[in-house]
Amino acid sequence: MTSTSNNEQPVIYWFRQDLRLHDLRGLNKAVATGRPVLACYILDDQSPGQWQMGGASRWWLHHSLAALSADIEKAGGQLYLARGKSEVVLARLTEQSGATLVCCSRQYEPWARQLEKELHESLEERNVELKRYGGSLLWEPETVSTLAGTPFKVFTPFWNKCRDLPLLLEPDTRIRLSRWPASVDAPDTLNDLSLRPTNPDWAKSWGDLWQPGERHASAKLSAFLRGPVSDYDAGRNYPARGATSRLSAHLHFGEIAPARVFHTAREAALGDPELQAETDKFLSELGWREFSHHLLFHFPQMPEEPFKADFAAFPWLGGARELRAWQKGLTGYPIVDAGMRELWQTGYMHNRVRMVVASFLCKHLLVNWRAGQRWFWDTLVDADLANNACGWQWVAGSGADASPYFRIFNPTAQGEKFDKGGDYVRRWVPELAALPDRYLHQPWAAPEKVLQEAGMELPADYPLPIVDHREARESALAAYADIRTQQGITA
């Protein structure tokens, strides 16, 4: 162990899903000790029960770590990268550096909470203290409860309660970081973590679409508040309109603090009642993110089991053929296929379309929501366990404050309503681009002459619907009626 005096003993700041230098309570506390602060990131994919990070998330993480490393170097430090078990890596780093304090932000996934508990115990045995701080949520899950002291299960009262709670933004602190001493083993390189896809590099064009990192997160928030937020309430439903913030991946990886988003948006709308109303709607979506983490914290089985127990008996009749057609964007329903192709090509899907494609998988194809959840987990750059699990269960009808099961989106009607001009479908399903608007969302209904004028043939150029909407709806409702009968539910 390196020999150091107490005032020279360094503090290790362990970055997790908080890849930024500003508005970060744990980092501020580490700096406030007056000791040298050493920064590290550990790619730990060995925790029991952990959902291994999906390919799209790994791509984002690579570039986020590159941005963070550059920012740390500007602050005088060095980001130590390692791959392995957090317990083993931190034990080695504290031993070799002489650090007796490790600071970090909390995480709320079930395996992360168990890891924090085990780390606290193992480091304590080495006379090293682990201090955890909030950093990725507006409020800590334990601080929000009903009058009876129980977790909330419905969003509106949850959000009403939250808005009455104090919200503090971390003071702007000058961050000074230190370089690791020579006594510490050489870190891994970013390429050693093998985060980017190869052979083939299916994300090779994503650098033109996304710019991970704290600086870009802040710039994206500013751009959103200068324009799109003014049309947020209505505009967010139209996938071709560009009225959403697209901050979700930045928030998931902690490149911007949710409190910073909250405060900045509120301040930008002051004195303008109409803008305040639009901003409040945007902030309520931030509230849904909080609500999802609240549910995951109190009900950690959410990603694996239906929140409503009666759905455990639901007869998921869809199989591999239906799932594969959905994944490839070959269902024969243009708005569904456009969404799935946008997801595969960009790592992202518009939120309205996420609801449509999820409803289609669960309620038209009768494929278990867990299969959709897994696909989103692997293909979304903003894949987040809490948001993903709660979102899928909400659509499937099995979650907390869920959409009623009998609410089954008509994919044709959704396309005609929210992509009336067809800009979204024509971009992502180009084989349909020449069809007139009247038939764009139901190409199977186009007369042969119209198809010929558009230079296409069905099903050679585009598949016929994998299921009939009306028949699929009736099958789904019948399946739901069966489980209600089995459970003895009459209301």
Q: Which residues are marked as active site?
A: 285, 288, 316, 351, 369, 392
Given the structure tokens 């994503």, which residue do they identify? 206
Q: Please confirm whether the linkage preceding 200 is cis (ω < 30° from 0).
A: yes
Contacts of 454 (CB under 8 A, 6+ apart): 432, 434, 435, 436, 446
Alpha carbon 188 to its chain's center: 27
How many angstroms separate the Cα of 483 from the Cα of each of 103, 309, 313? Answer: 48, 11, 6
Question: Hey, is 421 helix, strand or coil?
Answer: coil
| Cis, bond preceding 315 (omega within 30 deg of 0) | no
> Residue type for 53, please?
M
Cβ neighbour number for residue 487 with a 10 Å cutoff: 14
Please give the Cα distance from 422 to 431 (Å, whole number).
13
Strand partners, 345: none
Residues 6+ apart with CB under 8 A from 318: 361, 365, 366, 367, 368
Q: How many CB atoms lie within 10 A of CB 125?
A: 8
Phi, psi (rounded to 5 degrees) for 224: -65, -45
Residue 436: other Cβ atoms inside 10 A: 11
Beta-bridge partner residues of 383 = none
The number of beta carbons lying within 10 Å of the beta carbon of residue 228 is 19
User: DSSP character for 362?
Assistant: I
User: Look-up: residue for tokens 């390692």?
Assistant: 82
Residue 188 CB neighbour total at 10 angstroms: 17
Q: In what order do the strands lie in the sheet with 101-105?
A: 79-83, 37-43, 11-15, 101-105, 129-133
- Distance from C-alpha of 299 to C-alpha of 110, rounded to nearest angstrom: 9
β-sheet bridge partners, residue 41: 15, 81
